[in-house]
Structures are given as structure tokens and as C-alpha cells.
Amino acid sequence: MTGEPALRDGVTLVLGGARSGKSGFAERLVAGSGLDPVYVATAQIFDEEMRERIVHHRALRGAEWRLVEEHDALESVLLREAIAGQAVLVDCLTLWVTNLMLAEADIRARSFALLDALGACAGPVVLVANEVGLGIVPDNKMARDFRDHAGRLNQEIAAHADTVHFLAAGLPLTLKG
């Protein structure tokens, strides 16, 4: 993919909608870095449909990737894995927010803890996140709360990040960096 952006130091946020190509773009960023790639999967597998999506994504990545599954303690995983010589991809922040909501965790406190952890990382981190606020207001309160939590975290990570890309139809638009 000639002309695509290269991985930069620090924190990169890759934002996009469903099927925007954000995970594939983030994977190419990390894989092209020459660093050892670590894939941090935040998905909890609840049903066959989700399992299929995950298996499909895994098959698209190469064998050089190390897989870490962590649906909750993302902060400590980042501190442990984002070290010199490694590049960490977190896919995705929005599922992590979903997990925190399901676990009735204190999302504000955990968001601050995540920002602290990102500030302490020694290697580059790429975070994939969904933009979910561009449709009609959802009918139910839980979906509206989710939209608030996910959007607020995206803003905080974007403010902290060194680089922010927005993906549409697989094409990146650099919003920051």
C-alpha cells in the first residue's frame, strides 16, 4: 500500500465506522513498523456471529503476531506489552467500553487510568476505536449512554494521542499528527 502513513512514535488513534477498514489499516501500520507486533483483543465472545468475526480477523493477520486477549485490565496489559522493540495494537477501545459497562465498572476512573497507562508506555501503541455518534439518536437509554461513554473516551484519547487517523471506505484521513 504505497503512500499509506507509517507508524509513528507514541500513541496513534484509528477512528472509523463499522467496516471502514480501520482494523486492517491499524494492522498494516503495526506490521510495517519492523517492531514485534502484539495484538491486544478486547472482545468477549458471546455468540457464534462474534466468534466468526474474530476468526475471520485473525486469519487475515500473519503468524508473526502475538495475541493477548484482555477484555478488562487493558491498563496493565499496555504497561507490560508496550515496551522497546514491540508495537501494540489494541482492537478495540469501543468493545472495552462495552465490557466496562456490562461489568458496571467506573468508566470515568478507568478512562483516566488508561490515559495514565498510555502516558507511561515505552513503545508505540495503536488504538482502534469506533465512531458511533453519527446516526440517529438511539431509542434506548443504554445505547445513548454507550454512545456518550465511547465518544467521550474517543475525545480524551484523541486529545492525548500523537496521531489520529479517521478511516472511511478503507482510506485514512489524518486529523492530527
Exactly one of 13, 100, 118, 126 binds its own copies (CB under 8 A); that residue is: 13
Whether 57 is a known active-site residue: answer yes
* Omega before residue 92 within 30° of 0, cis: yes
Using CB under 8 A as the binding rule, whether residue 175 contacts its own copies is answered as yes
Strands 11-16 and 163-168: parallel
Residue located via cell numbers 478495540: 92
User: What's the min distance (Å) between Cβ of 120 and its own copies?
Assistant: 22
Exactly one of 7, 11, 12, 20 binds its own copies (CB under 8 A); that residue is: 20
- Give the count of alpha carbons within 13 A of 127, CB side only: 32
Identify residue 74 by its one-letter amino acid code.
L
Using CB under 8 A as the binding rule, whether residue 59 contacts its own copies is answered as no
User: What's the min distance (Å) between Cβ of 12 and its own copies?
Assistant: 13
Using CB under 8 A as the binding rule, whether residue 95 contacts its own copies is answered as no
b/e map of 47-77 (b: 16 or more CB within 10 Å)? eeeeeeeeeebeeebeeebeebebbeebbeb
**104/139 with CB nearer its own copies:** 139
Contact code string over 115-134 relative to its own copies, x by CB under 8 A: --------------x-xxxx
**DSSP state, 169?**
T
Indicate the annotated binding residues for GTP. Answer: 16-23, 41-43, 58-61, 69, 91
Using CB under 8 A as the binding rule, whether residue 155 contacts its own copies is answered as yes
Cβ atoms of residues 42 and 90 within 8 Å: yes
CB-CB neighbours of 88 under 10 Å: 25
| Binding region for its own copies (CB under 8 A) | 13, 15-21, 49, 129, 131-138, 141, 143-144, 146-148, 150-152, 154-155, 157-159, 164, 166, 168-171, 173, 175-176
